[in-house]
Structure 1
Amino acid sequence: MRGLWVDAFGPGLKTPAQVAQMVKDAHDLGINTLFVQTIRRADCLCSRSSVPRATDADLAPGFDPLAEVLRLAHAQGIRVFAWVSVTGAGNAAAPNLNPQHVLKLHGPAAGLNSWVNRRPDGSYLEGSDIWLDAGIPQAADYMAQSILSVVKNYDIDGIQLDRIRYPDGGMWGYSSAALARYRSETGNKGTPLPSDPTWINWKREQITALVRRIVLETRRLKPNVWTSAATITYGAPPADLSGFEKSRTYSDVLQNWPAWTQEGLIDLNVLMNYKQDLVPNHTQWFDDWNKFALSVRGKAEVAAGTALYLNSPDVSRNQMQRALSAGLGWVGYAYRTPGVDVYKNGQSQPRGFEVLRKSLTQNGGPLTATPWKLSPPVHSGVLGRVISSSDMGGKVVEARSAGGTLLGKTTTDGNGYYGFTDLPLGAVEVRVAGQRWQGQLTQAGVARYPDLLLKGTQIIPALKSRP
């Protein structure tokens, strides 16, 4: 993979002329995959999704950027991933004005109907950004459906999940709806401290459950669409999984991406390995995060995402060479800011992009016009739902073979969804709360099992002993 992120906060996607120039630039650079920002802040730079169009004065009226990128890029043999901000809901300084936007209906002022992620004191701004809480079942369903609407309506080659995590700082998840659900599922009372390990683990599982739902639904609709995530690499790299569990990625923003690759949930892991070689330790950190990601890759492809905007083109060239030599793909962030001089020193984007192109492609540069024709791994899996009169989340579900061999174990999300991937073909029985249902996996893909209605159990008081 030789990729380029194209964000929606500057030129590149707003008009037909910008899209044409961007695709030409990518082709001239030797890019084979574009990660095009599609869902930005619960709104879309597209016309056929379940979320409103982005409010942007520079976005040409009636123009569908995603459709035009797909048309032009596919004609050049370039793949297109719809890059989506999963939990991003809005920005207080630049709100979406559509009355159907999620923050108009379920924003901070919506009381019990609010889906906004909060700190213990009720505050909700991270800078100017507002996030949705993955622990609220309705919010999780909304996020999944918004992405699936893009999968259904566009001939994309992949999806990339971004902001699939909690905000920085660890003190999040304290919406009243999420807290009530946590107490009900765990039996714990009161309000957990931010350092409570049970609370932290529960929140981390909400993120993984959301990934699982989105990925399995996507594979059910279109098995050949790549599933990808842009993943966090904060601080010093771990040597192994035990070390990863001490990282900020795992303990602060609650993103357990090694579990996603090893479970087979994502086909492509793109590290946001935004290091600066001129900063002490960063050169080694960059290389060792790449090494760790390869060690836990499962079936997933791995690409090093590098911060073009923080580095000179020569440093970006060096980072790319090291990533490719280690066996990873490469993705640059971003088209709008192709070098530190564009980002900080007033250099124009066209000039910065040309300097980057020469550095990466000329005089033995690492970027050549390499086609990326690899298909995503073949998966066989199950998606189902448990329906109950009580809370539907946190119920343990097992997948077993016809002979009773345990194939996998998971828990339901807040909407009752469960799923398994990379199961063998044949009979697969699911068991939950003493009930079971058996179906057949006859071909690769994701089978949708029928909803399982849990039968209520009447609690009979024990008989009093006779005197």
Structure 2
Amino acid sequence: MTRHDLPDIDRRTVLKASGGAAALVGLGVPGTATGAEETADVAQFRAYWVDGFNEGLYDADEVRSLVAAASDANHNAIIAQVVRRGDCFCDDALPPRTDAPIADDFDPLESLVEEAHEAGLEVHAWMNVNTMWNQETPPEADDHPFNTNGPGSDNPWHSVREDGEEHVGHNYFFDPGHPAVADYLVDTACSLVEHYDIDGINLDYVRYPDHNIEIGTPSWGYNEVALDRFRAETGRDDVPDADDEEWAQWRRDQVTNLVRRIYVETYATDPEICLSANTITYGYGPEAQGGWESTRTYAEVLQDWRAWMEEGIVDLNVPMNYKRDWDDDQATMYRQWNEFTADHQYDRHAVVGSAVYLNEIENTVDQIRAALTETDDGNRVVGWTGYSYATPDLSTFEGERGADEAREDLAHALTEESPDGGDPVFADAASVPERTWKTEPETGHVSGSVSVRDDGPVDGLEVTVNQRNETVATTTTTGNGWFGVVDLEPGRYRIELPAGETRGRRVANVSIETGSVTDVEFTLQGMM
């Protein structure tokens, strides 16, 4: 596989520290925007989502057209769906190569990285997380997880609904409460980072499924391995109801644990990789629904992305704020979620994702202006992304015109002549906002594992991180025995397991260094 690097220069550092596409003009990199030298101070993330079920990634010509269209719209990033349902639009990552009709000698991700980087664009590898398969016919690859661990296997990985339903249509979903699923998904993300010169991993479907028995009730997660883990940790022996609060929180924690582990382990592979997540924004904003914990995001699909941002285990939040701006109610919903998103970035970044396919171009421009407006608390998101490249406006979605024409019209409206008569929202080229916590880190992270000799990982064990006799963090081991804590100040720490529950070494002294992950392993003689 060919990696694209500037001669004797770290391309990613140049992009972020020196003004993105603007900085590359002086380096003679082809494809950068004319006059970009004058816009080096503009920092704003701008991207299309490019799904793997439509045009964009199927051959070299499509990739070149995609990069050109993104550049014409003064975008600086592409979020490309390379992992759809346990398959990959690539050759060198963990998932098997997709069954989609692409040439045998063509690696879509490799081609996209090379073309996009030459044009000064970031590439974020979009990875569907908890989607397993979605066709009546099984995948061709023998090592696809649906074939190895799907329905009927000795160790099924798919989620089950409370009523026993295993799929919706032909859609099967991974269960994040199964430890082997977590291992597989983490290894998938890490393999993309290890083998391709991507700028980020973009997590989609990082939650429990829709298609619940009742709106507001989280009905999925009844995989037998997950249930057994829940019973072992809580001491219960029942099958909990879907709306059982303890069971709901346990499942919510499984999703958060997965995000945390992907963050830490991809960081260990590449400290500057950007981890982003496409997050849920159903209905009106949280304040209108009675608070964050009353939203369907938190209560139904069990995705606590507000907490992820506060903890710092996501670099870039990309809420899928898919609303029709020509509908007054949905226009209100859109702006309420924008405000909540901007006001809950903590020390990370957020951009607003809108559905260009549900809106005509003038509506999209209005939504972008709204997304970039300062909130009452004085906060702003750092950019915008649109879904999707394949369907750039409502007219295209309804079959009234072609996507190429719509993309040209959208690019013209964004960069040259705004339909509302104002200044075009993307009139100037922009650099990706620098992720200073990655490029100039002031903290470090710790990860580790706890296992019993000859008996495997220890699940649900509390781990404390102490410094100078003060507890600075507490976490719990996952089903793989893994634990992790992010953003610790540099220095010496004691990692401790609870007294009275373990036999063997219970304390480890570690040094945390800026910009790195410190690993620690506990191999116990047994449990009390």
Question: Which category describes the TM-score, using the shorter chain as reference length?
Answer: over 0.9
Counterparts of 1:117-136 in structure 2, within 5 Å, are: 117-136=159-178
The change in CA–CA distance for 1:310 and 1:399 in structure 2 (over 3 A counts) is same
Match of 1:372 among 432, 435, 442: 432
Instruction: Determine whether 1:255 maps to 2:303.
Output: yes
Whether the 8 Å CA contact 2:494–2:510 is kept in 1: the answer is yes
Whether the 8 Å CA contact 2:129–2:203 is kept in 1: the answer is yes
Whether the 8 Å CA contact 1:225–1:376 is kept in 2: the answer is no
Q: Which residue of 1 aligns with 2:65?
A: 21
Whether the 8 Å CA contact 1:6–1:34 is kept in 2: the answer is yes
Instruction: Determine whether 1:420 maps to 2:485.
Output: yes
Distance in 2 separating the partners of 1:393 and 1:242: 34
Counterparts of 1:347-386 in structure 2, within 5 Å, are: 347-363=401-417, 364-368=423-427, 369-377=429-437, 378=441, 379-386=443-450
Q: Which residue of 1 aligns with 2:75?
A: 31
Whether the 8 Å CA contact 1:320–1:366 is kept in 2: the answer is yes
Whether the 8 Å CA contact 1:39–1:85 is kept in 2: the answer is yes
Unaligned runs of 5+ in 2: 1-44, 213-217, 375-379, 418-422, 500-505
Q: Which residue of 2 aligns with 1:84?
A: 127
Distance in 2 separating the partners of 1:95 and 1:274: 31
SS in 1 for 2:286: coil
Q: Which residue identity is paired with 1:448?
A: D
TM-score, length of structure 1 as denominator length: 0.94
Match of 2:156 among 107, 114, 127: 114
Whether the 8 Å CA contact 2:444–2:513 is kept in 1: the answer is no
SS in 2 for 1:125: coil
Instruction: Determine whether 1:340 maps to 2:394.
Output: yes
Distance in 2 separating the partners of 1:422 and 1:242: 31
Match of 1:400 among 466, 469, 473: 466
Q: Which residue identity is paired with 2:177?
A: G
**Structure 1, residues 408-457: CA drift from partner, whole Å, max 9, x if none?**
111111101110111010012111222221100133221122x1123424
Of residues 337-346 and 261-270 in structure 1, the stretch that sits farther from structure 2 once superposed is 337-346
Query: How much does 1:337 deviate?
Result: 0.6
Q: Which residue identity is paired with 1:429?
A: R
**Structure 1, residues 29-56: CA drift from partner, whole Å, max 9, x if none?**
1110110111111110011111101101
Query: How much does 1:395 deviate?
Result: 1.3
| Aligned structure 1 segments of 4 or more residues deviating by more than 6 angstroms | none
SS in 2 for 1:128: coil
Distance in 2 separating the partners of 1:117 and 1:202: 15
TM-score, length of structure 2 as denominator length: 0.83
Q: Which residue of 1 aligns with 2:145?
A: 102
Q: Which residue identity is paired with 1:375?
A: R
Match of 1:210 among 233, 253, 258: 258
Whether the 8 Å CA contact 2:354–2:387 is kept in 1: the answer is yes
Match of 2:338 among 268, 285, 290: 290
Distance in 1 separating the partners of 2:103 and 2:47: 26
Query: How much does 1:15 deviate?
Result: 0.3
Query: How much does 1:121 deviate?
Result: 3.3
SS in 2 for 1:245: helix
Whether the 8 Å CA contact 2:130–2:176 is kept in 1: the answer is yes
Q: Which residue of 1 aligns with 2:201?
A: 159
Query: How much does 1:295 deviate?
Result: 2.0
Of residues 204-213 and 423-432 in structure 1, the stretch that sits farther from structure 2 once superposed is 423-432
Q: Which residue identity is paired with 2:515?
A: A
What is the number of residues matched between the two proteins? 454
The change in CA–CA distance for 1:171 and 1:418 in structure 2 (over 3 A counts) is same
Match of 1:140 among 176, 179, 182: 182
Match of 2:94 among 50, 69, 77: 50
**Structure 1, residues 207-242: CA drift from partner, whole Å, max 9, x if none?**
000001111001111101111111111111113997
Q: Which residue identity is paired with 2:111?
A: E
Distance in 1 separating the partners of 2:225 and 2:513: 40
Query: How much does 1:323 deviate?
Result: 1.1
The change in CA–CA distance for 1:440 and 1:416 in structure 2 (over 3 A counts) is same
Pairwise CA RMSD: 1.6
**Structure 1, residues 81-107: CA drift from partner, whole Å, max 9, x if none?**
111011111113464211111000000
Counterparts of 1:321-332 in structure 2, within 5 Å, are: 321-326=369-374, 327-328=380-381, 329-332=383-386
**Structure 1, residues 317-350: CA drift from partner, whole Å, max 9, x if none?**
1100111223221001110010111112341111
